[in-house]
Amino acid sequence: MMKAWFGDGGFRVSAMVAVLAVTIGFAVQYMIGTGVPVFHWPYNALFVAVFAALLLVFGVLFRNNTFVLWIGGIPFGLSLIFAIAFLSLIGGVIPQDGQVAGSLPGRLGMNRIFSGWPFLLVVLLFLCNLGLSVVWKTVPFRFSNLQFMLFHGGFWIVLACGLAGASDLQRVIIPVYEGRESSRAYIPHENRMMQLPFSVFLEDFSIEEYSPQIVLYDPQNDRVMSGRQGRETEVRIGYKASWPGFQVEVLDYMPHAIPDSSGTPRRTGKSEGIPYAKVRIVAEGTRVERWLNTGSPFIRPGVVQLDRYFLVMFPGSPKVFRSGVVLTGAGGRKTVDLEVNKPAAYAGWKLYQMGYDEKAGRWSQLSLIEAVRDPWLPAVYCGFIMIMAGNALFFWKGIKRRETV
């Protein structure tokens, strides 16, 4: 009986169990109405440790038991891979964190699929499957199994530690104004403020922009048309662009300028000035010369009307935004520059340049800094490194073998 169902693959039972796990998961989700309860440190760590130990013991002691062999076998693993793919498909189509309260997908937790019961059940079964297969390939140790151990073991660690550690992950936002200090942060998901163990003083917030663009604006259709450019693609002296019927050439360009009392632009410093361009517009025998500017909260944008269109100069998109901050707290006093892609570590936290007041753009006084604490990161990264090492070995195997499959 046991052999007939579970022996030699057992694809049918595997598929049935996977479908059952998904179904039971949705049923539980429907009845309870909330996602999986979360365990914090140290209970989640304890759970992962006990789980891993059990897999090791069962794997070693019962490696000839038909049922245990089935749990750790490929058919069950495959069925669970497809079950995870199916649940991810739901998560990839239905907006996550969307408000669908009351509707059936909402009650089934489809808008929070990755923290719901079906996903948890399937992943737990999958970790059993994956864990057993790793144990069997690791004990006794053989070098020829190294690729398997690294890849599968790494995947187990990333899945187990990533999911169990999610409850210990803290991501908060620190809004801070130039010249001020703050040690309070906003927790988005709980919609409340918290006290940080350190404070952030914003010395300076600055934005660098790409060079501006000269475009034709059609107010009736709210449409922007860029012209045909010559060799020179950046707005500066000598830049040329043409639209059907006329062409524009830049005669003079100042990246940072402000108008004097007569309205003529004068070069100034980087922080207060805005781009000015003197253009010559040539159309069917007429030619005019005008100043364009991008405008700012204090200076009206300089545009030129051409029939029902406007020739305008748009400020370039942000190239770099940077917060010069001073951190004080348990980790002492530290001065750092935060930029996107350049976070800084401080006393167990990592700080990221997140955003600013986008309405004010370059003149924003406000910087949004994200602070993240993820005590499980080293474990997950260890898993990533194992996956990559296994992957490199797999690549080597893939290009070395040339015989038929």
Binding site for other proteins (CB under 8 A): 9, 74-75, 77-78, 81-82, 84-85, 88-89, 91-97, 114, 162, 169, 171, 210, 226, 228-229, 231, 233-234, 316-321, 339-343, 350, 352, 354, 370, 372, 374, 377, 380, 384, 387-388, 391, 394-395, 398-399, 401-405
Contact (Cβ atoms closer than 8 angstroms) between residue 321 and residue 339? yes
Burial environment of residue 104 by CB neighbours within 10 A (0 to 12, 13 to 18, 19 or more) = exposed
Find the shortest distance in angstroms from Cβ 107 to other proteins.
18
- CA-based nearest residue to 122, from 113, 132, 112, 135: 113
- As a whole number of angstroms, the distance between CA 260 and CA 291 comes to 14
- Longest CA pairwise span in the chain (Å): 98
Q: How far is the CB of 353 from other proteins (least distance, A)?
A: 8
Rounded CA separation 222/291 (Å): 23
Q: Which amino acid is at 30?
A: Y
Looking at beta carbons only, is 45 or 130 nearer to other proteins? 130
Cβ pair 93, 113 in contact under 8 A: no
Residue with smaller CB distance to other proteins, 227 or 273 = 227
CB of 214 to other proteins, least distance (A): 13
CA 321 – CA 356 distance, rounded (Å): 9
Quote the least distance from Cβ 12 to other proteins, whole Å: 14
Tell me whether residue 330 or residue 399 sits nearer to other proteins (CB atom): 399
Closest contact distance (angstroms) between CB of 56 and other proteins is: 23
Amino acid at 388: M
d(CA 293, CA 299): 9
Q: Which is nearer to other proteins, 3 or 400 (CB)?
A: 400
Comparison of 64 and 404: residue with beta carbon closer to other proteins: 404
Main-chain dihedrals φ then ψ at residue 22, nearest 5 degrees: -65, -45
- Least Å from the CB of residue 98 to other proteins: 8
**Between residues 139 and 388, which has the closer beta carbon with respect to other proteins?**
388
